[in-house]
Every structure is written in C-alpha cells, then in structure tokens.
Structure 1
Amino acid sequence: MTDAASAARDQPLIAIDVVPVSFTVAEGLRVATARRAYEPYAGREALPGVLLDAAERLADGARRALRTKAGIGPGAVRHLAQVGAFDGPSRDPRDTAISIAFTAVVGAADPRADGGSPVWQPLAGGDLGLPFDHDAIVRAALDQVRTRLWRDVPMTRALLGDVFPTSAAAALHTALHGTAPDAGNLNRALRTNPALERTVAVPTSTGRGGRPPATWTWTD
C-alpha cells in the first residue's frame, strides 16, 4: 500500500465509554447515566463517553468522560477497570467507532467535577434502554464484576467499603446474581478469605440484646 493510499484509508474513531456503578445495602446496585446534549440521541440517557484525544491514555479518557459528562470527579472514583473493546459498523450512526469500555466503582460525590449530574438507575435485571450499544456494554461490565467478585480485591473493596457486615456481602451477591447466597457457604467463604479479618460491630445504644453482628475488614 502506498503512502497516499494509506493516508486516504478510513480509520475508525476511538471512543471511551464508562459504566459507573455504586452499591449500598439501602439502594442496591446502581448504574449512572448522563443526558446527551447533542445528536445523535440528544436528550436521551447514555453512558458517559468521549472520543480519545491523540495523546491521551485510555484511563485518563475514562476519567475525563466521568468528569465532563456525568459530573463524577476523580475523588469519587474508588476503582477503575477496563472491560473490553466494542466494535461494529453500525454501533454509532455518525461514523465507524471502536469503544474501549471501563467500569468505575463510584463513591461519594466529588466537588471537583465539572460536568452535569449523573442519573443513578437501579439494576432490575433488564436492559436500561440506552442508545448505541450501551446496554451491551453495561451487561459486559456487570458480568465482569460478577465473575471477579472476591477474586479482585481492589474492586470488591471499592464496592463494599473498608469495613462491611456479612449482610452487605449477601446483599451484593443477591444484586449481582439475582438470588440470595447460602448463608453457611457465604460465612465460610468470608472466614477463609485471606484478604479479610473478622471483627465485631460496636454495640449501638438501642437497648437490643443479642450478639453484635460480625463485620469484616480488609487486610493490608
């Protein structure tokens, strides 16, 4: 191929799309979206995404997408991991684009963010009705979280926090798998996990009797 032919050859765009997730026992497992300001799909909720700058690293592009499109600043991102690449000539009606997708575990809001406000949506087992191929990206991201739970200590710690009760681990399992875990198997898995240490919750002043619930902390 000549230099001229090479220069004329169409090159796909590189996009970065991010699946922001958060988990609490009270609110369950949720995914954040951002309202699109421009066509295509203006006014629709979609994953925060940007086109990669020429000299930008992938993870930096993911952080920029979170900050500028969803108002999620760097201080709120507890964990960031690449999910994979998504391609296909029809995934973006504007041009051929390859998306490098990330999952971001998000904690408290960060005042340094400079974008809009994210819309947090609960995961009820079905697609969210997002444009492009964003529902497929969400499914892939959640499947990665599901298969890497406990094996990926930084990710699991980001989801559950530095200290968590057994009930939170059970709730996270239920949110990811759709069924509650066997209590005996879960307790056994927590006790034998070398990354965890068992502690005892500080008793509250409610006056209730009984043993305080077990809590777990991560070893260093």
Structure 2
Amino acid sequence: MGSLGAGPTSQSTAAQPIVSVDTVPVRLDADGQLQIRLVRRPWEPFEGAWALPGVMLRGNERLTEAAIRALVGKAGVGPEQELALRQCGAFDDLARDPRGPTVALAQLAILPPLTPAAASEGEVMDAPAHRLPLLAFDHQRIVDAALVRLSEILLADAAASRSLLGAEFATTRANQAYAALEAAGAPGASPSGMSRRLAATHHLIKTERTQTFGRGKPAPVWAWHLPKEN
C-alpha cells in the first residue's frame, strides 16, 4: 500500500526554523515625534540596509532577556535604562529570510523620551515612525504591528504609557503621541477628546501645574499614581 503522508522520519529531517527576537524601540522625542531606533546591517543578507535590532534566541534564554540583549548590544540602550517591553506578534513567512525558515518574535520596546544612543556594536539612528527608510526583511510589517500595539495600550497600560510619556506630562504631550501614531498609519489613533480621556484614565491624576508649548494655552500637567511593587 502507498504511504498516506509524511511520517515522523520525514518530518524530523525537515529544516527547523531559527527563532529570533526582533525589537521595535520607540520613543516620543521632545518635538512630539515618534522615533524608531534602527541599526545598519553590517553583513548579508541586506548588507548596508537599516533594520530593527534583533538577536537569535538562545536555548536557555527568555524572550525579555533576548530583547534586552538586542537593545543593549545593538541599539545602544543603556543596560540600566528603564523601559517597557510588550509582545507584538510572531512573524513566520517562509520567505522573510533568504537564508532559510525563521520565526521572529517581536517585542515593542517603549523607551523614555530622552534616550540617547550609547555605545553599540554598529551604526544606529532614530528615524520618524511615519517616514522610515526601506527596511530589511519584513521589518516594516513588524513596525506596523508594533505601532498598532502601542495605539491599543497607550493610556490603558499605565506602566507602558509612563515609559513613553514620562512620570508627569502635559495634555499636549498625549496629543502629540496620538497624532504621531495617526501620522504613522496606526488605525484608531486620534488625539480628539484628549482631556476627557485623560480624566477617565485609571492611575492618572491631574496636578495643579500647567505647561506651555509655543504660543498655545497653558496645558494641564498629569501625573501617574501607580501602586508600589512589593
């Protein structure tokens, strides 16, 4: 009788995909622009192209550990830098890497506003999320997914929002964050009704202080009031 399909032997000889952890480091700069930190690839494939900082997952390594290794070693993020990591998808297109099958586990890395690039393994730059250069592999798809994830958790996820906006921030900064997400094509991101949204956000209190941006009216300053971790 003929075989009914591939058995265990033929499955075991198939190429097993390599697992990588790719990070999308994002910060809101002083001008209210969302910046994505990119690294230039020093070797093939895509030698000389800009890409997201990523590493191959080691056998004894957790995803967050691999993400931090990529951020510190390749993106110039200081090892003591506070940041928020959030998963934003798995990418397993068979053609995503010309070297063979790979699976990328993507991590959104939310950096504080002032996060200069420290010493790293190669060339690093911050690029506006709405005007990125052509990226290697399927990294534009990963960026798009990360921005959707950011638009979903902004204000709803207090710890992640605190990383992006700061411990205290003016209404104008929240407006800028949503406007930047909207400009980058994140669906559902809109700065309209921001004052009402902030007032309804859990763990957020309105202070008595204000901050002025340019010639605009003084904007209220908000502060996170998060429970202390044990």
TM-score normalised by length of structure 2: 0.82
In the TM superposition, what is the alpha-carbon distance from 1:70 to its structure 2 partner? 1.7
In the TM superposition, what is the alpha-carbon distance from 1:181 to its structure 2 partner? 2.5
Does the CA contact (< 8 Å) of 1:77 and 1:104 recur in 2?
no
In the TM superposition, what is the alpha-carbon distance from 1:7 to its structure 2 partner? 4.7
The correspondence of residues 7-46 of structure 1 with structure 2, limited to 5 A, is 7-46=12-51
Higher share of residues assigned helix: 1
Match of 1:128 in 2: 133
Match of 1:219 in 2: 225
The correspondence of residues 71-220 of structure 1 with structure 2, limited to 5 A, is 71-107=76-112, 108-109=115-116, 114-124=120-130, 128-178=133-183, 181-182=191-192, 185-201=193-209, 213-220=219-226
Query: How many residues end up aligned between the 2 structures?
Result: 210
Deviation string 1:85-111 (CA, Å, 9 cap, x unpaired) is: 000111000111000001101232475
Does the CA contact (< 8 Å) of 2:52 and 2:139 recur in 1?
yes
C-alpha spacing 1:127/1:118, structure 2 compared with 1 (3 Å):
closer
Does the CA contact (< 8 Å) of 2:15 and 2:101 recur in 1?
no
SS of the equivalent of 2:88 reads strand
SS of the equivalent of 1:201 reads strand
Does the CA contact (< 8 Å) of 1:62 and 1:102 recur in 2?
yes
CA distance in 1, matches of 2:153, 2:174: 14
CA distance in 2, matches of 1:156, 1:192: 15
CA distance in 1, matches of 2:176, 2:154: 13
Deviation string 1:141-195 (CA, Å, 9 cap, x unpaired) is: 001101221111111111100000111111111111238633xx21112122231
CA distance in 2, matches of 1:74, 1:82: 20
TM-score normalised by length of structure 1: 0.85
SS of the equivalent of 1:74 reads coil
Q: Choose the corresponding residue for 2:59, options 45, 49, 54.
A: 54
Does the CA contact (< 8 Å) of 2:22 and 2:67 recur in 1?
yes
Match of 1:69 in 2: 74
CA distance in 2, matches of 1:173, 1:127: 18
In the TM superposition, what is the alpha-carbon distance from 1:203 to its structure 2 partner? 8.2
Deviation string 1:107-139 (CA, Å, 9 cap, x unpaired) is: 32475x643352100122x55310100000000
Task: Return 130-139 or 57-66, whichever deviates more.
Answer: 57-66
Structure 1: segments with no counterpart, 5+ residues:
none
C-alpha spacing 1:180/1:5, structure 2 compared with 1 (3 Å):
closer
CA distance in 2, matches of 1:117, 1:217: 36
In the TM superposition, what is the alpha-carbon distance from 1:12 to its structure 2 partner? 0.6
In the TM superposition, what is the alpha-carbon distance from 1:28 to its structure 2 partner? 1.0
CA distance in 1, matches of 2:211, 2:111: 29
